[in-house]
Amino acid sequence: MKRLALPLAVLFFASCTPTPPSQPSKPSPLPYDAGLRDGSVIFLRGGLLVGPIYRHTDSDLTHAAIVLYHGHDPWVYEAVPPYVRRMPLGDYIRLLEEKSRERFEQKRKMSWFIIQPRVRYGPLELNAMRHHAESQLGRPYMLRGWWKGHEVRGIFCSQLVGDIIERSGKIEAGGIHESPGSLFQKLTPVLRGGAVKIIHYPEARQVFSFDCGAMRGSRSGGQRGGDLASETPPSETATAGDCFKGLGTPGHNRSGV
């Protein structure tokens, strides 16, 4: 990934990052299906600086966060200014809805999608992921390592998520070189292997999904497994190649994000 001057680098990772409210004492009810699996990853795309981001990373993905459960409660872990924090998934999704509406009204489209494991992580893998995520809480949000090319005491969004997933042994994280786009691309071989299901949230209250693993070059409509209470519109039927083609690039709208 090419280096940027510090001011643009700061905007790179912070431009579409949601600013979480104060963490509540207990998780609030989820606005969507509560069956989202441990280790699911949330990606944001779009926003004011999507052009510069694409030119320097070959992707319009601008933020990454990860969902991990504590008991029956899903929490989102993310690195945002000023430090790494967690917040309940329900609050996070509502915050994304608000941001999406604000950006739409400002004619700066922002959207998001979630990829979740088709094959669940094992208990030992999840324990390692949670342990690392918890150990990072309060760590400063910092891009100095990214633009200087060496580790520092701070961390940024996709670096955090990549490091957490690496604890499962599923991927080798890129550390200070990991952008949201490179993280997504790193996960696509797993997706093509049928291990992950993509769930799209194109609008505030519209949910549909592609079951990429089940496609494998053949036509597939609807969704399988009942992981989310949603329906895939007939127009969104796709082959496995269609499912991944263009994700993370400007102008791609087949998935609705």
At residue 61, does pLDDT exceed 70? yes
Cα dihedral: 20, 21, 22, 28 (round 10) = -100
Domain layout of the chain by residue ranges: 6-21+33-205
The pLDDT confidence band at residue 116, using thresholds 50, 70 and 90, is confident
Q: Which residue has the higher pLDDT, 188 or 44?
A: 44
At residue 102, does pLDDT exceed 80? no
Cis, peptide link before residue 82, omega less than 30° from 0 = yes
Instruction: Give the pLDDT mean for 174-192.
Output: 81
One of 3.90.1720.10, 3.90.1560.10, 3.40.50.720, 3.40.1190.20 is the CATH number of 6-21+33-205, namely 3.90.1720.10
Q: Which residue has the higher pLDDT, 131 or 44?
A: 131
- Return d(Cα 92, Cα 248) in angstroms, integer: 22
The CA-atom distances, in angstroms, between 74 and each of 68, 152, 210, 243 are: 6, 29, 22, 27
The pLDDT confidence band at residue 165, using thresholds 50, 70 and 90, is very high
Residue listed under structure tokens 């944001």: 44
Q: Which residue has the higher pLDDT, 249 or 119?
A: 119
Instruction: Give the pLDDT mean for 141-170.
Output: 85
At residue 17, does pLDDT exceed 80? no
At residue 145, does pLDDT exceed 80? no
Where helices occur in 137-221 by DSSP H, the ranges are 144-148, 157-166, 180-192, 212-215
Among 26, 237, 53, CA closest to 157: 53
The pLDDT confidence band at residue 36, using thresholds 50, 70 and 90, is confident
Share of the chain above pLDDT 70, in %: 51
Instruction: Give the pLDDT mean for 200-219.
Output: 34
Average pLDDT, the chain: 66
At residue 216, does pLDDT exceed 70? no
Q: In this predicted structure, what is the pLDDT of residue 120?
A: 84
Residue 232 structure tokens: 């895939």
21: exposed, middle or buried (Cβ count in 10 Å: 0-12, 13-18, 19+):
exposed
The DSSP bridge pattern shows strands 196-203 and 110-117 to be antiparallel
At residue 139, does pLDDT exceed 70? yes
